[in-house]
A and B are shown apart, each in its own frame.
Chain A
Amino acid sequence: MAIPHFLVVGAGIVGAACARELAREGNRVTVIDSGPGAGLQGGTAAGMGHVVVNEGDPDTLKLCLRGRELWRSDAPPMSERDSYWETGTLWIAEDEETLLQLEGAQKKLESVGVVSERIDGRQLIKLEPALAPDLAGGLRVPHDGVIYAPTAAREFLNASPKVTCHFGVSVKNIGDGMVELTDGRIFEGEAVIVATGISVLTILGEAGARLAEKVSLYPREGHLAITARGTRILDHHIVEAGYQKAAHSTSNHSISNHSTSHHSTSHAGSKSGSVACAILPRQTDQLCLGSSRRPGEPGPVDPNMMMRVIDRCERFVPSVKTLPILRTWTGARAATSDGKPLLGPVPGLQRTWIAAGFEGLGITQAPAAAELIRQRIMGESCTLDPWPWDPARPYKNNSALTKRESDHA
């Protein structure tokens, strides 16, 4: 019997994780990416690498949690510099009102067994002396951490000799179980997993266009900066409370209707974009400073936006402007119109799957998403309920969805 062969289009963190999952079961996997290697283009090359259990909504929370579990227990071998580093997240509330929100967040985390700890203003300074002295308090999530995604993507692919990679060549067309490259080559397989990030619906041709009528995908640009070595004045990943909530729980359109963070001047849906403090320590003794959200493809670094980000970081860590900045960059998160990734078969096709639209949580969720894709493709029972992410979710009453629902154990 021939060894089953799968195709993965896109070697970002998600595609690479999918390839590893499928190869694990003894399948042959062919990976195609237009970039010069895994994780070198797209969101994976730009992302911060905070592995965070985000309490946005219960489904998102579960996907993050499973992702984090897998990063902690099942990451590919990497040098100490790049591997999972359990810094913990410290969510910071600027004032009493935000602190209340954090209490609510803690309850939600507790309900799914995520350990967290409330920290009052005085303890906060003891825990992280570099924080501003006037902050109301925080919530510490100790098992969150940091991963360097480009190396992780590469090592996912290196993990198995069953994976063959084709870099530097684009996919032009995707049929059902078939992929056509721009250089004319055609690959066929049991199934195709399309994980090309922001371009996923375009690349899927007609099927993608049909789906796009129901769920749209759009880029949300972010600005980041990195400080020089020898500047790691924080041990935790520091994030201001309310930030990810605003970013992940709502879509581009709805976010402007109810902004959750009262201090940000504007929101992700508006042209000027929003900024929030997120500071990530790196094993290289550096700090990564973020971040912003603004609709659109990533352009050249906009000095004004970068300044807003750093100003916001300074509110929480006053000495951040005493650290030299080495480099700045932008990247795009692929956001869906309902705030959830597309993870499952492409409606109308039998052998073509989609794994994209993770907004700012793709690194965290990649291992869980890949596991889920494998389990569904191989017809195994799923660790998580797959339906919240099924691409057919907008067709709620559609028989295709109800039919498939029966195969979920």
Chain B
Amino acid sequence: MRDSICIHVDGASLRVESHQTVTSALMRSGISAVRKSPSGEPRGALCAMGSCHECRATVNGVRGVRTCLVNVEEGMTIEREQPVLKTSMGVSVVHETMSFETDVAVIGSGPAGLAAACAAAELGKTVTIIDESPGPGGRIWSHRGSPPVEARPWIERARIAGVQRLQGYSVIDGKPEELKVASVKDGTRHRVLCSSVIIATGARERFLPFPGWTLPGVVGAGALQSLIKGGLPVSGRRLVVAGTGPLLLAVAKLAVSEGAKVVVVEQASFADRSALAIPLLLSPSRWRPARELWNSLRGVEMYTSSWVTAARGQQHVQEVSIRTPQGIKTLKVDGLAVGYGLIPESRVAAGLGCEIDEDGFVRVDEHQQTRVPGVLCAGESTGIAGSESALDEGLVAGIVSAGRNPRSRLLARVRRHRFWGQAIEKAHPLRDEVLQLAGAEDVICRCEDVRAGEIAGCVSRREARLIHRWGMGHCQGRVCEGSSMCAALEGSDSVRPPWTVAPPEARIETSR
């Protein structure tokens, strides 16, 4: 049931449908710029999944709320440029800290987290899932209203097995036996006391900077998917879906089915991608979905060995240039979605002391155990291999956390998934050109407006951070560390609390 409700944006009343995120409600109302960057550029949602922090606003008086993570509510106030109050009058500090005790704390309610929770709970453990999104399902099963059919059995199983959910909470700090969580809506802090932790924080998109990528209306590929699933209408819209990887096709399929006019721009070459033929042949379960995908994309304009070189527009993206083997093409668009594959979200794991490999993945053994006793990890944060893999890894982690031994068939399946994941990765190698699209004047760190030219002479991350403020913003490098300039810097940044920047723990309650 979708009712129409009233929200207030910068003082003006707006009628919107319920059951959607604030970001999508704003975009539907034509507001794609949510904030101003330090140098005054308009900015809007990029990732639509909580990692870029570009969509943040003051919601119901709480500063720094990621609007993509909260749903609209009747009477909600949203302020885009909120000046700070220089007053101590009427400041009431709300401390609602509670403690939750559980045997197993699962961080993330994507396929991996749900499967882990079900397995552990069905083997008799008390389980609590913590997830910052408004509903369960993670990336692939993100939804509006009722969850997709694939997700329902897992959500139902979890409910029957008595799994508790702390939905809308980010894990921001802690140790293996005690996690600190913060509400994405109002910053309220709670503690989760547990005897083991299963990290299932998934992956985020890799963004590569190019001229115009900071324009509102330029979003991630997966972001477009989440926005559409969250209710953003795209019927009749001209959309370019660009970047690399199988996600582009899934997103294009969804956009087409919703009536958009889609152009797909894939940087990998046909030759690279045909390397997938053999792994695909060896994997019969993937034949049908592949064929369906292919059929649904019939008639979609598709370029391979091609990439977006620039986006242009006033306040919003209006035009996109793409480099194709036939030369540069310029397209008029209503939106651009661009993502260059996935990178693991391993901040929580790093914060808990787990070993992270050079590509950012959490190291686990065959039983999904990290080096830290009592801390397991499953799903995309251990390797990008799709939702089936995430489910199976989750089952393994859940079974192991309950003190049991997973069957060897399950373990063999996990190994096969990994093989598939590697094949996908190999079929989409990033070409040098897409790594070097940003010119000296282009922003590479969106949060702090650091331009490529500024860090051109830098050798170390420390220098880029301390001198040029690269990676010093709200997202703490989640977006900008994916760029090649940053990858070339020496050294790494250590993870420290807060692992995710959360709204403040207190709010000003003006007494009337």
A321 near B490 with CB under 8 A, answer no
- With contacts A131-B88, A322-B63, A329-B496 taken as known, whether A45 is within 8 angstroms of B504 at the C-beta atoms is no
A325 near B87 with CB under 8 A, answer no
A321 near B505 with CB under 8 A, answer yes
Q: Check if A306 is an interface residue, CB within 8 A of chain B.
A: yes
A323 near B63 with CB under 8 A, answer yes
A129 near B504 with CB under 8 A, answer no
A327 near B85 with CB under 8 A, answer no
Of the candidate stretches A50-58, A90-98, A312-320, A388-396, the one touching chain B is A312-320
Which residues of B are found within 8 Å of A324, using beta-carbon distances? Answer: 63-64, 474, 501-504
A130 near B88 with CB under 8 A, answer yes
Distance from B477 Cβ to chain A, minimum over Cβ atoms (Å): 10
Interface of chain B residues 35 through 84 with chain A (CB within 8 A): 38, 63-64, 82-84
Q: Check if A35 is an interface residue, CB within 8 A of chain B.
A: yes
Chain A interface (Cβ < 8 Å from any Cβ of B): 35-37, 39-41, 45, 125, 128-133, 150-151, 154, 228-234, 284, 300-301, 303, 306, 314, 317-319, 321-329
B88 near A319 with CB under 8 A, answer yes
> Size of chain B's interface in residues, with CB distance under 8 A?
41
B501 near A319 with CB under 8 A, answer no
21 pairs of residues in contact across A and B, judged by CB atoms under 8 Å:
A37-B459, A37-B460, A40-B466, A45-B466, A125-B88, A129-B86, A131-B88, A132-B88, A232-B84, A303-B174, A319-B85, A321-B93, A322-B504, A323-B84, A323-B504, A324-B63, A324-B501, A325-B501, A326-B474, A327-B472, A327-B498
Which residues of A are found within 8 Å of B469, using beta-carbon distances? Answer: 284
Distance from B99 Cβ to chain A, minimum over Cβ atoms (Å): 15
- With contacts A322-B63, A322-B508, A323-B63 taken as known, whether A228 is within 8 angstroms of B474 at the C-beta atoms is yes
Q: Check if B462 is an interface residue, CB within 8 A of chain A.
A: yes
Chain A contact residues, majority secondary structure: loop
Chain B contact residues, majority secondary structure: loop
The 6 nearest A-B residue pairs measured at CB: A36-B460, A321-B506, A324-B64, A150-B466, A318-B91, A40-B462
Which residues of A are found within 8 Å of B456, using beta-carbon distances? Answer: none
Neighbour of B496 across the interface among A125, A230, A319, A328, CB < 8 A: A328
Distance of A325 Cα from B496 Cα, bound (Å): 12
Distance of A90 Cα from B8 Cα, bound (Å): 39
Interface of chain B residues 84 through 109 with chain A (CB within 8 A): 84-89, 91, 93
Which residues of A are found within 8 Å of B91, using beta-carbon distances? Answer: 318-319, 322
Q: Check if B473 is an interface residue, CB within 8 A of chain A.
A: yes
Given pairs A230-B84, A303-B173, A322-B507, 12 additional interface contacts (CB within 8 A): A37-B463, A40-B466, A133-B88, A150-B466, A229-B38, A231-B63, A317-B88, A318-B93, A323-B63, A325-B498, A325-B501, A326-B472
Q: Check if B285 is an interface residue, CB within 8 A of chain A.
A: no
Distance from A8 Cβ to chain B, minimum over Cβ atoms (Å): 19
Which residues of A are found within 8 Å of B63, using beta-carbon distances? Answer: 228, 230-231, 322-324
- With contacts A40-B466, A130-B88, A133-B88 taken as known, whether A326 is within 8 angstroms of B476 at the C-beta atoms is yes
Chain B interface (Cβ < 8 Å from any Cβ of A): 38, 63-64, 82-89, 91, 93, 173-174, 180, 459-460, 462-463, 466-467, 469, 472-474, 476, 490-491, 494, 496-498, 501-508
Residue of A nearest to B173 (CB): A303
B504 near A325 with CB under 8 A, answer yes
Distance of A133 Cα from B90 Cα, bound (Å): 11
Residue among B84, B86, B496, B505 with the most chain A CB within 10 A? B84
Distance from B404 Cβ to chain A, minimum over Cβ atoms (Å): 33
Residue of B nearest to A232 (CB): B84
Distance of A151 Cα from B467 Cα, bound (Å): 6
Which residues of B are found within 8 Å of A322, using beta-carbon distances? Answer: 63, 91, 93, 504, 506-508
Which residues of A are found within 8 Å of B38, using beta-carbon distances? Answer: 229, 284
Distance of A301 Cα from B497 Cα, bound (Å): 7
Residue of B nearest to A154 (CB): B467
Distance from A180 Cβ to chain B, minimum over Cβ atoms (Å): 24
- With contacts A131-B88, A229-B38, A301-B497 taken as known, whether A321 is within 8 angstroms of B504 at the C-beta atoms is yes
Distance from A364 Cβ to chain B, minimum over Cβ atoms (Å): 19
A328 near B467 with CB under 8 A, answer no
Which residues of A are found within 8 Å of B498, using beta-carbon distances? Answer: 325-328
Which residues of B are found within 8 Å of A125, using beta-carbon distances? Answer: 88
B473 near A326 with CB under 8 A, answer yes
Residue among B83, B180, B472, B476 with the most chain A CB within 10 A? B472
Distance of A324 Cα from B498 Cα, bound (Å): 10
B501 near A318 with CB under 8 A, answer no
Which residues of A are found within 8 Å of B64, using beta-carbon distances? Answer: 228, 324
A303 near B506 with CB under 8 A, answer no
Which residues of A are found within 8 Å of B504, using beta-carbon distances? Answer: 321-325
B459 near A36 with CB under 8 A, answer yes
Residue of B nearest to A227 (CB): B504
Which residues of B are found within 8 Å of A284, using beta-carbon distances? Answer: 38, 469
A36 near B491 with CB under 8 A, answer yes
Neighbour of A233 across the interface among B86, B463, B501, CB < 8 A: B86
Distance of A113 Cα from B348 Cα, bound (Å): 53
Distance from A290 Cβ to chain B, minimum over Cβ atoms (Å): 15
